[in-house]
Structure 1
Amino acid sequence: MMLSFGNFTKVGAQGSLAIGNNKLTFQEHVIFKGWKNCVKLSNGSVELIVTTDVGPRIIRFGFVDGPNIFYVSPTDKGKTGGTDWHLYGGHRFWHSPEVAPRTYSPDNSPVNYTWDGTTLKLIQDVEPLTSIVKEIEITLKADKDEVKVMHRMINKSCWNVELAPWSISACAAGGRAIVPQEPYIDPADYLLPIRPIVLWAYTKMTDPRYTWGDKYIQAKQDSLIKSETKIGVLNKQKWVAFYLNKTLFVKTFGYDPNALYPDYGCNNEIYINGDFLEVESLGPLSKILPQGIIEHTEYWSLHKVLLQEEDDSIEKNVLPLVKWNK
């Protein structure tokens, strides 16, 4: 017998780990949007669902019994196999700089996974086009709505490659991204530029989806505007947020002042089209030796917040939540 729970169906075994009054649960073989072999990880407050038929992908992140903060492609959901790259949706792991066909190496095959009681590890087979292996390690706190998502690339080729790890969260329609600006400094005290803001060839500064504020750049997804747009920044504040329907998704990530980042020096990028908005972070460009490894870590948290668009509302309701990154 199958027991239905909203968008997914329990068909397999589960285990749990109790920490104090909280319980971390691991559930195998969950059907989600047509993928038959997903895995669900929950602490009773928030949950993540990952695909193992394709990927590695985190296809759902949200409060238990709440909406998915991530976008799932209606045309790609449940698909497996083939040689064409599919959007699928959710959170994925790419390598930068973006170029076809290398970046668009399909993730249509099953992934292996391990669970040690606290961390779920997703392991992709070697990509035939790139000889790169991608891994994602997911550690959900039992007592807080916080997740450590560690991305790893392993060079299985016989030569050096130069890449930057690139983590991409495709977020649901109707939300907005919040990118912190660098603090204001009086020109009498500091004369040099403080960071790049990078524009893509298809980006228009007059696009109404952007609000270029003094303290924050805000970028909205509007399903009535079908055109694509993208910006990037060197985000020294090391956080970005996505807000939708009183749910705030915060991710923090690294910044190394001595590193070289791709795309004219970006460690944070926002992409929007008519269906979804992507919140992206990038690690430094690195030369990976044969059998060498690079890693890139994001820290996620989920919050229930009533947030307005004004800077004061963001200062009051978002900044106190940007604290967990180690």
Structure 2
Amino acid sequence: MAPMPPSSQPWVEKYRPKQVKDVAHQDEVVRVLTNTLETANCPHMLFYGPPGTGKTTTALAIAHQLFGPELYKSRVLELNASDDRGINVVRTKIKNFAAVAVGSGQRQGGYPCPPYKIIILDEADSMTEDAQNALRRTMETYSKVTRFFFICNYISRIIEPLASRCAKFRFKPLSDEIMSCRILHICREEGLDLDSEALSTLGSISQGDLRRAITYLQSAARLFGSAISSKDLISVSGVIPEEVVQAFVAACKSGDFDIADKEVSNIIADGYPVSQMLSQFFEVIASADDISDEQKARICKRLGEVDKCLVDGADEYLQLLDVASHTMRALCNMPEELHFE
């Protein structure tokens, strides 16, 4: 397949680190894996942590640094959540790939080329428990000729027998300084002008996910040109503007149900996603100094219940109105349920 022309290439791929040592902020992981690369003796590995922190990048970089471009295709099997990874695939495709021994390779082109293959299972936490159980025996039987790299967001969804067979590496959310440093590097390379307010906004809306930050940056650059403002980034990110959230909070504090109803109707009419609204509303409530802990607890309890209803397919207008009315009741210190005699 021919490489994409530079103009159409996603920046996430264009600026993806090619070597383990270039992965940002994961210092302990990088230090251990650099030593592993020097000895070329990899255990089974489990990378876990939030999205956009370098897990897949690190796994691909290890595989490329071990085998180089020549042997990579024959020695590495990548399976993502988009591929079928049910129990039948584990018993056939994965097992067949794992079973084939490889010759004890001589170094080729400066790459170690150790005598084993690598199977990368990205988003392994979405594999069924049956499929994970089927992997246990395969891992043990073929560990001399095959290493497994599991990548996931939630280590709790990996069954204990698999997790205990792997060296575990936790990837931390990226700090604002690390994000800013990487984003400014891309801005310099792409000739973008990003002021400090826009940089701060990009950090807060991407929440430690560097991939998301780079995607927002590229989208804004496509739409608004080289000078990108904070407002431009908010408009491409789907984050609800601060003034809309504050207007909703003010309506809840007003104690007037009609005002709250009007504000909820405006939010729905403007097409803002209610799940995003709840997320931002929660942050405002949790950090508010003029709301007591008991009031916060009542509001947050309702937010959890409404979030579940939205996942189950409930009407967005009614659920947001429910949040508004319960918040109003909590702030006015009214009882949770009104009892009429």
TM-score normalised over the length of structure 2: 0.21
Decide which structure has greater strand share. Answer: 1
Structure of higher CA gyration radius:
2
Decide which structure has greater helix share. Answer: 2
